[in-house]
Structure 1
């Protein structure tokens, strides 16, 4: 059975280490990442994803006023526990196919996200992918575990 999730938001920033802002759609380029985003490039962490479920955990800690993109995620998702996906898992997201390359990451010192939010959830629950097949992704698109 295929697991189906949903894209809630596409978020972008021109600089690393800052919160991202939602955009109407994202153009994802094969083996590069999200067009116009500071984290795109020919490396293993081209795209970052974080589930709305993780946002809810932080809100339950009493942190209010969170916006999608505050954790610097490119794609805010719903319906899939992302950090439980094995590395190498392929996802069909909108028109794209992306492969999970890393679960979590080290949070760098002086990170704007942990300063604003108080706690960054990306290091434990965010995942990273590389773009296998490029295309457009929009809020509302489905995410399918292949």
Structure 2
């Protein structure tokens, strides 16, 4: 079992997200108010808190949402979950659809650090069931 450490959104693609503390997650859509929501396979993005902390230990000056992630999860190494895995949080059910992504134009983090974890450790999911997610909520792998 893990814990949601941050809930981040932005209304524009290609920018860092802001930690808003809670959000409505809509079935077959994603996080309401987030630019990446929609009818596709990358409705919600997740990163492990531990991965972010390891990156910070290497000197990165990043905050919640810096990588464009929607959910920061502590206690679950999301990058190790196979595609098809399911995560449950309150009434929300997510299905992992993709691990990592191709980075076409390197972000500010990459230009500063020479590296970015999102392309290889970011996990993407579609929303099978919606609800509300808040920082501090329990989240678990359920299949």
Indicate the TM-score class for this superposition, using the shorter chain for normalisation. over 0.9
Work out the CA distance in 2 between the residues paired with 1:90 and 1:72.
21
| Corresponding residue number in structure 1 for 2:10 | 13
State the Cα RMSD in Å.
1.4
Q: 1:67 aligns with which of 36, 39, 63?
A: 63
- TM-score of the superposition, structure 1-length normalised? 0.91
- 1:114 to partner: Cα distance: 3.1
Work out the CA distance in 1 between the residues paired with 2:66 and 2:10.
11
Gaps of 5+ in 1: none
Work out the CA distance in 1 between the residues paired with 2:65 and 2:102.
18
Q: 1:137 aligns with which of 121, 125, 133?
A: 133
- TM-score of the superposition, structure 2-length normalised? 0.93
Q: 1:79 aligns with which of 62, 66, 75?
A: 75
- 1:124 to partner: Cα distance: 0.8
Q: Secondary structure at the match of 2:124?
A: strand
Work out the CA distance in 2 between the residues paired with 1:106 and 1:46.
16
